[in-house]
Structure formats: structure tokens, C-alpha cells
Amino acid sequence: MWPFPMYGAAPWPAGVLVTLTAVCAVLAFRAEQARDRSGGIGRPAGRMGWPVVAGLVGAAAYGSVPALLLALHNSTGGGGYVVTLPELEPGGLFPAALLMAGLLATVLLPSARAPRRWVLPAVAAVTGELLEWTYWLTYPSAGRGSTLLNVMVGCVSVPVLAVFACAALRWPASERPVRLAAADVPSSARWALLLPAVVVMTGDLLGLDLWQSASPGTGITLAVVDYLVGLALLGAVVVGLVRWPRAAAALAALGLVGIGVYDIAQSGFGQSLGVVQKFGSPRGPTPLLPLETAHHASVLGGIQGTVLLTLGLWLLPVTVLPHARRMLGRDPDPALTRRVRELSETRAEAVGSAAAELRRIERDLHDGAQGRLVTIGMNLRVAEEMIHSDPHEAAALVVEARVASAAALEELRGLIRGMHPPMLADRGLGEAVRALALDLPLPCGTEIDLPERLADPLESACYFAVAEVVTNAVRHASAHELRIRMARADRVLRIEVVDDGVGGADPARGTGLAGVERRLAAFDGVLAVSSPPGGPTIVAMEVPCA
Amino acid sequence: MRIVVAEDLFLLREGLVRLLKARGFEIAAATDSAPGLLGALLDCRPDLAIVDIRLPPTHTDDGLRAALTARERIPGLPILLLSQYVEQIYAEELLADQSGGVGYLLKDRVFSDDQFVDVIRTVAAGGTVMDPEVVTKLLGRRGRGDREPLSRLTERERQVIELMAEGRSNSAIANRLFISEKAVSKHSTSIFAKLQLAPSDDDNRRVLAVLAYLMSAPGDGRTPPSH
């Protein structure tokens, strides 16, 4: 029974575990609430946390049932042996351990950098081993399966797994500033819930259970093999989850439903409904139980099945059903939907910024060159009239007209440079950026490896992105030197602008870098900024170019 | 003096031709495309080519490329580039062979035709003339570091070197700055000493030395031009 088989012992271990689970549930609930407040609401993945909270609450309630029954039987003098139905346990210990460990990791590490993906299973394994160990140490007399081997395996594997877990926590997968709470809570929570389900299911299917002790008299070799196979199985499942998390999630949800139904059927719950006869156990004969106890046991099995079934049904809408609806053509592919949304957004932005740009150009032309041309025309008109009456004055007007035309030209040149730098048209992105670097008031090295021209719109977007980043660096970074690297590899154009300034650049503040990000987004490009206080600032941009 | 004009805008081309004829130059050919220019240069072997950088067929830098190709075949062929914009990269490419007889001006400069005619004569005679805007950019580029020798120049010396880089003679600089020619030559000696350049009495060699100095930004790490 969850989480420990109970052999007529005191109810406190179960009580402790139930309490622990309840605390986890409360913490998870608060974490969920905090996340909702910070604006992560409404995303499909964001909803994944709630089933976990519900699952935990359910598990706590469910776990309290045997504790309650135990207390009940003890008080009625039922005589010690309350209930243990291993064949009714969907792994018992292991899912409980994983559930709690995953949730603890999720809740207690909200500000840690994103850990490696295997940190949760590792933490879960440690917890599982610890629980197993505690179990055997707590119930040395009751443990029919308790062998020296179990204890020794626990002694070895706990420290080893603990080292793994610590290593996983010490060295984050990447230096990306991804916060567990902000980005990874949904996936961690999903893991916490689904990993045990998958493990249990596979274990049940293959008749293996990592945390099930080998029966006494099995022989050491067989027990070790059993243990190793269980470990390998766990590894395979973890790898599967990492590689195909969605498929695993769907499988687990379906499995929970299946196990739930199986448990209910086997418990004889159905017997009272007149539907199903009690099945024999796949793992051997059901222990002979007193009738009353057997009744309780089957009721408990039914409750357990109901909880699992509910959990599975709860998970279906976020796992299997969307896939099914998509396959049936009811729902569009979420990836496609997301892509369409991205494209609509970036298109709207592109159209908007193009319109704004046109308005700016119109205004500049109107206030600048156009006005000057009018002045020139008027001057020439007056000069034409005065050319005979006052040639001196007429000459002065003509000179004025010429000066105005030079100014108009100057303005037009500036305007054209802002629209599409001539060098970009003449020689392409590489040379245009080199020309840009030459015109800067700071020394600016360039390493440009662009043997071919790119598509015009892409070149223009990249040029202005670089120009904006460089302008930022010159204006705000108090830099002494700049460096621009630009290379194309594997259909990706990678641009890097490095300055030795004061750092502290943040795309979230100020519009410059955010504008660059938007500009690049129209081409599926991305921008990353590393700018610690004190510098240096590195702005990296990557744009796909076919 | 026989001149080939390459400019794709009809009005501007005709205007240039008229201006040049009025000043007594002979127009050997007036063309509107880069291949036409190259053909005309190789056929006519003019005393000077006035070339718009942006020409058909691709409307990019065809004019410059055609002119540079022609200069490879006819070493020392004087080229005066006209453009709506100035780029340091183009200036570098034009000056790359260090042999003079080149000019690079904004099209606006044609407005003051006396000065324009001076430029034509200077370039045709093998001199070097850079647009003030190019020179300003080059000086800006060199004046970036604190320890630059350039920052040790006095204000007057900066004015002199600026005019020098544009390709003006001592007398032109003296006129411009309202100082005596002797003062100019004193300044130029001092400039050359501060920049550790070999002094030269030859106007053109002096211009080239100054421009080469301005363009060779040390530690700049630039890739060489790919053309």
C-alpha cells in the first residue's frame, strides 16, 4: 500500500509521509499562484502544474486512508496484520518518491539556474533509495523481503546517486539565464508527475520493479541482476522522457488511466457493482487474509485505482486529447498555431514599422529638401525678375539658391543613408558594415566572412541591427573599442558586436535593443545580450539565411 | 585636354559636358554605362576620365570598377570619381596603387565650377584630390586614440593637414587660411616631423603620404578589401 506496505506497525511512517506530501502540495500550490501572478497564465504548458497540485492533494488524501484504516484496526483490536497487497500497488514507493522529489526540487529551487534535465530523476532516485532504506531499517523484523543485500545496495546506491544529484545541481546545463520557476516549472512538474507513471507502467508491464526487494532465497546473483535490470529500465525511461517528452507524457496519462481501471477491476470494487470478478494476482497468490481485512484491502485497491484513474483522466486533456484532436483534424497543430501567431505578430510589426518609416521620410522630405527646393524656386524667380534691374542683388539670390540646393542635397544624402545605405546596395552587408565601422568615432575592428550576398531585405535588416547596436555602444557604453564579427555558417548568419564599455545593457529596458530584436524577429532571427555590470557587452545575433 | 565623361543621368551628363566645353576642355566621349566607359577609356586614351561611381548595368559601383580596370591597363590614367556619397572604402581602393592622378569628389562640388576646374587640372596633371568629407572622416578615424601622434598636432596644423589631404598646394592652403605660404611650409614641416613622415617638396607625393598615413590605422584588424 502506498507508500509503505504496512505490516501491523505503528501508523506514524505513513502519517509522516502523508504530511510531507501535503506540505509539498501546499508549496506547489503557492508556487503555482506566484507564477500566475507574474503573468505566466493561459499558456497550455502553464496548466500542467495544477494537475500536479491536485495529484499531490489526492495522493495525500489517498495515503491517509491506510493510515486511518491502520489506526482503526489497531483500535478495534483487529490484530496487527492490516493490509498489504503488492499486486495492487502501482509501484507505491517509487512514484511517491519521485512525485515528492520532483515537486520539492521544483518548489525549493525556484531561483536556481536551469539544471540539467536529469536532475529531477537523480533527486528522485536518491529520495527513493533513502525511503527504501529507511523502510528496511524501520521494519527490520517485519521485512519479509529484507535481506542484507537490500541494505547494502541502499548503502552503496544512496551516496552514489546523491553525488550524481549534487553534480547535476552544481553544474547547470548552460549559462542561459533561465530560471526554473519562470521557464521550467511546468516541465519539471510534468516530469515529476509523469516520470513515475511511466516507470511504474513499464515496470509493471515487464514484471520488474526497481524498488521491489528480491524475495528471500532468490539468490544474490539474481537479486543483483534484478536490481541492475531495474536500474537500466529506469535509465531507458529517463532517456525516453528526455528524447520524447510529449510521447512519454501521453503514454503516462494513458497508463494511469489503464492502471486505475485495472486496479478498480482487480480490487473487486466492481464486484459490488456486479460487473467484474476479482482477478488473481500476476505476482503470485494473494496472501491469505482475514475476510474483513481482505474486504478493506479491496476497497483500498479500489480507492487507489480511482485516484489513479482520476489523475489519468485529468492529464488526458493536456496530453493525449490534443494529439487525438489534431490527428482527427479537429485542432490545428500547436506548433503551427504558434508559428502563425509569431508570423502575424512580426508581420504586423514589420508593416507598422515600414509605415512609420515612410511617415518619417515623408516628414523629413517635406520639412527639408522640399522646403529648400521651394525656396530655391522662389529665389530664382525673383532673381529672374531682377536680373536686369538689379543684377547685383540677382547674383546674390542665385548664390543663395545654390547654397540651398547644396543643403538640400546634403539632407537627401542623409535621408538615403537612413533608408538604404549606398554601400549596402553597392557591395552588400559585409562591406557596408566595414564602412560603418570605419565611420565610427571609436576604433572598431571587423572580422567579416561573407563570401556571398544575401537577400536584400535580410541584408538591410542585419545592417540596421548592427548599426543600432553599434550606436548604442558608442552612445551609452563609454567604450574605447568595438569589435564586429560576422560569419555565415550552416545557413545561419551570426553577428557579434563586442564592446569594452561599462556593460549593463538590457533589452528589456530602453527601446534600442528591443527594436533590434523585433527587426530580426521578422526574419526568425534572435538576439542575445550578455552585459554584466562593468562590461564587456556582447550582443550576439543569429539570423537564418537559406 | 581630352576628357571622357561617364554619367548615367542625362541632364547631369549634358550639364557636365556643357560646363567642361565652356571651360575649353575637349570631350572625347560621354557615356552612360560602365562597359561604355571602359571601351571609351581604352579607345580614346583621354587625359582624364570623370566617372560616376554608380553606373549601369548593375547600378552599384560599376563606374569605380570600370575605372580601376582601365587604370590597370593604362597605368596612371587620371580618374576623377564623382558620387552622391563618399565612402572611405572607395577612397582606399582608388588610392591603393599610390601613383596619384586620382580624385574623389561629391557631385555637389561641381557647383563651384572654378574649384571644379582646378581639381580637373590637378588630377589630370597626376595630382591627388580628396573630397573634404573623405578627409574629415579619415581624420576622425585617426584621431580616436589619445596617444595618436595626430592628437599632438596644433589646431592650425590640423587645418593645414586637412587641406593638404584634400590635395591642395601650399599656395592654395595659404590663401584659404589667410596665412603666408612660408607659414604653411613651416606647418607642414612640423606636421611631417610629428607624424614621422619623410618630408617632400612634391605636392602630390606629400598628399599621398598624408593619405596613406591617415588610412593605415594601426591595430585596426580590418580585413583587406575583397576587390
Distance from CA of B137 to the nearest CA of A (A): 6
B9 touches chain A (CB under 8 A): no
Mean pLDDT of chain A: 67
Fold type of domain B135-215: Arc Repressor Mutant, subunit A (1.10.10)
A442 touches chain B (CB under 8 A): yes
More confident residue, A184 or B84: B84
Contact call for B145 and A443, based on CB within 8 A: yes
Q: How many CA atoms lie within 13 A of A5 on its CB side?
A: 23
Distance from CA of B116 to the nearest CA of A (A): 15
Identify the residue whose cell numbers are 612634391. Answer: B202
Q: How far is Cα A497 from Cα B151, in angstroms, rounded to an integer?
A: 27
Interface test with chain A among B105, B108, B137, by most A beta carbons within 10 Å: B108
Backbone φ, ψ for residue A52 (5° rounding): -65, -45
Q: How far is Cα A191 from Cα A48, in angstroms, rounded to an integer?
A: 10
| Whether pLDDT at A433 is above 90 | yes
Q: How far is Cα B136 from Cα B130, in angstroms, rounded to an integer?
A: 10
Residue limits of CATH 3.40.50.2300 in chain B: 2-130
More confident residue, A273 or B8: B8
Instruction: For residue A440, give the nearest of B105, B222, B225 by alpha carbon.
Output: B222
Contact call for B85 and A413, based on CB within 8 A: yes
Q: How many CA atoms lie within 13 A of A412 on its CB side?
A: 15
B108 touches chain A (CB under 8 A): yes
Distance from CA of A478 to the nearest CA of B (A): 13
| pLDDT one-digit tens code per residue, A275-314 | 333 333 334 444 444 555 556 666 666 776 787 788 778 7
Which of B84, B223, B226 is facing A446, going by the closest CB pair?
B223
Mean pLDDT of chain B: 84
Across the range A96-125, mean pLDDT stands at: 48
Contact call for B108 and A416, based on CB within 8 A: no
At residue B26, the pLDDT reads 93
Backbone φ, ψ for residue B83 (5° rounding): -155, 160
At residue A227, the pLDDT reads 63
Contact call for B85 and A425, based on CB within 8 A: no
Sequence ranges of the domains in chain A: 12-331, 337-419, 426-544
Instruction: For residue B12, give the nearest of B57, B51, B70, B63 by alpha carbon.
Output: B51
More confident residue, A237 or B157: B157
B187 close to B156: Cβ distance less than 8 angstroms: yes
| Whether pLDDT at A117 is above 70 | no
Identify the residue whose cell numbers are 547631369. Answer: B12
Interface test with chain B among A438, A447, A481, A498, by most B beta carbons within 10 Å: A438
Contact call for A446 and B140, based on CB within 8 A: no
At residue A542, the pLDDT reads 92
Q: How far is Cα A147 from Cα A19, in angstroms, rounded to an integer?
A: 29
Give chain A positions within 8 Å (CB) of B139.
none
Termini Cα distance of chain A: 59
Contact call for B85 and A447, based on CB within 8 A: no
B111 touches chain A (CB under 8 A): yes
Q: How many CA atoms lie within 13 A of B64 on its CB side?
A: 24
Instruction: For residue A106, give the nearest of A14, A15, A2, A193 by alpha carbon.
Output: A193
Which residues, listed in sequence order, are joined to residue B52 by a DSSP beta bridge? Answer: B82
Q: How many CB pairs under 8 A join A and B?
A: 66
Contact call for A438 and B54, based on CB within 8 A: no
A438 touches chain B (CB under 8 A): yes
Least confident of A68-72, A76-80, A216-220, A346-350: A76-80
Instruction: For residue B40, give the nearest of B5, B78, B79 by alpha carbon.
Output: B5
> Which residues 112-151 of chain B have a CB within 8 Å of chain A?
137, 140-141, 144-145
Name the closest residue on chain B to residue A401, using Cα atoms. B111
A483 touches chain B (CB under 8 A): yes
> Which residues 81-100 of chain B have a CB within 8 Å of chain A?
84-85, 87-89
Contact call for A416 and B89, based on CB within 8 A: no
pLDDT tier at A87, thresholds 50, 70, 90? very low
Which of A409, A441, A445 is facing B220, going by the closest CB pair?
A445
Give chain A positions within 8 Å (CB) of B53.
426
Strand order from edge to edge, sheet including A444-449:
A444-449, A482-489, A492-499, A537-544, A526-530
A419 touches chain B (CB under 8 A): no
CATH code for the part of the protein at A426-544: 3.30.565.10
pLDDT tier at B53, thresholds 50, 70, 90? very high
| Whether pLDDT at A462 is above 90 | yes
Distance from CA of B107 to the nearest CA of A (A): 9
At residue B227, the pLDDT reads 38
Contact call for A434 and B223, based on CB within 8 A: yes
More confident residue, B10 or A168: B10
Which of B141, B219, B222 is facing A434, going by the closest CB pair?
B222
Task: Output DSSP code: residue A83.
Answer: B
| pLDDT one-digit tens code per residue, A143-166 | 444 455 555 655 665 566 566 556
| pLDDT one-digit tens code per residue, B94-113 | 888 888 889 999 888 876 77
Residue limits of CATH 1.10.10.10 in chain B: 135-215
B109 touches chain A (CB under 8 A): no
Name the burial class of residue A383, with classes exposed (0-12), middle (13-18) and buried (19+) by CB atoms within 10 angstroms of its CB: buried
A453 touches chain B (CB under 8 A): no
Contact call for A426 and B220, based on CB within 8 A: no
Q: How far is Cα B143 from Cα A162, in angstroms, rounded to an integer?
A: 61
The verdict on ipTM greater than 0.85 is: no
Domain B2-130 has CATH 3.40.640.10: no
> Which residues 389-408 of chain A have a CB within 8 Å of chain B?
402, 405-406
Distance from CA of B114 to the nearest CA of A (A): 14
More confident residue, A59 or B86: B86
Summarize chain B as % helix, strand, coil (round to 5): 55, 15, 35
What are the residue ranges of helices labelled H in A49-181?
Answer: 49-75, 93-108, 119-138, 148-170
Across the range B74-94, mean pLDDT stands at: 89
Which of A405, A410, A426 is facing B60, going by the closest CB pair?
A426
At residue A52, the pLDDT reads 52
